[in-house]
Chains A and B, each alone.
Chain A
Amino acid sequence: MEVTLLVEAMDNSFRLMENAKTQAIELLNSAVRLTSETRAVEKKKFETIFTGAREARARVQNMIATFGILFVFWLVLSAKFDLFHLSLGVICSGVVTFMSHDLLFANVRVGDIRLMLWRFVTYIPWLLYQILLANFHVASLVLSPRMPIYPQVVCFKTKLESDMSWVTLANSITLTPGTITMDIREREFFVHALSKKVADDLSTGEMEDRVAHMYMEADHIYIQDVLDVAPIFGELRRTL
């Protein structure tokens, strides 16, 4: 009698413990699920705020930069510095900025435009030097009686990422005597080269590296990107 009672009591307690265990597990599971859900929602909210702020900032930056460049262009053209013409310049630059502020810097990254401009300025002398060298080479080809040309089409896949850098590279190649960019398709350049040496110079990829450096692309770490983003990030973390 007592033994059966004892066994029943033990059974009961076991059952209770089982129930408690399943309940606890369910509770834990739901807690985990809730946390992950809230996390996902928060993350999404965070991301929308983040990209929104970044886009708005980039938009304002673009408008100011476009306006500045256009106004400088106006001053160069007009060369009249009385109040009437300056105000006309402000109005005209404003109208053009309003109409086409998204054109000039359509695919520029967040990176520092001043640094990019400085690198562009330092790129030009190097390009001029290359053009000079290529000029001598092509002149020697043309003037030698045997005319040792070896025309060929070089095609290579580029590591550059934005359309601006593609165009810069393509125009640099075309400006250099002996090579002409024929087409850019699916990140692939088709370049006509006049001789073997010119084609070899092209495939070393020095020009491409310099253009990548100028636009802060490909193998470069975007330090400026991080610096730009850091204050926004801190502010968001404080608010959330």
Chain B
Amino acid sequence: MIHVSDDIIIRTLARILVPFIQLYALYVIMHGHYSPGGGFQGGVILGASMVLLLITHGYGETKVRFSERGAVIFSSIGLLIYSGIGTLCLVFFGNFLDYGKLSTLLQVVPAHARSLGILGVELGVGFAVMAVMFSIFFDISTSGELPVDE
């Protein structure tokens, strides 16, 4: 079960750090194609921020931002974005995830189309990983029951 922390220092610092962790995660996702990082790492950081909120503030506070239902929806959306971009490349007579072929659709040069395609794929991976990380932690820590804190 999740035991909500009663340490005021941990609670307050978690509250202040969570927005910055989330923004850092989005930065890692968005800049994944020319600096270290990418969809998976960013998604894990984003999931970790949710987990931090969950173990410091409990399910009630976390639920209004991200719930189990949200996890289901976001993991599906992430997978849809990833496979959608991959299949779109097939439609334009390329290989799966061959972003260069998207240049006719996006009206840009193939190099730029590759950059944008990777960005989209990483966004999808990030969403899916974030949602799955959250739901793995959530399922393990609650052993399937809906928690009632305080």
Contact = CB atoms under 8 A, between A and B. Distances in A.
B26 interface: yes
14 contacts: A77-B24, A77-B27, A85-B30, A92-B27, A95-B26, A99-B19, A100-B19, A103-B16, A104-B15, A164-B12, A170-B9, A181-B9, A184-B7, A184-B9
Interface in A22-51: none
B65 interface: yes
Contact of A103 (B9, B19, B24, B30): B19
A170 B31 CA distance: 37
A70 to B, nearest CB: 5
What range describes how many residues of B lie at the interface?
A: 20 to 34
B114 to A, nearest CB: 15
B2 interface: no
Contacts of B18: 100, 103
B12 A78 contact: no
Given A74-B23, A77-B23, 6 more contacts: A78-B31, A88-B30, A97-B19, A99-B66, A103-B19, A170-B9
Interface residues of A, number: 27
B22 A106 contact: no
Contacts of A140: none
B19 A167 contact: no
Contacts of A103: 15-16, 18-19
B22 A96 contact: yes
Contacts of A74: 23, 27
Contacts of B23: 70, 73-74, 77, 92-93, 96
Contacts of B16: 103-104
Interface in A165-194: 166-167, 170-171, 181, 183-184
A106 B9 contact: no
Nearest to A70: B23
A106 B53 CA distance: 14
Interface in B116-138: none
Contacts of B9: 166-167, 170-171, 181, 184
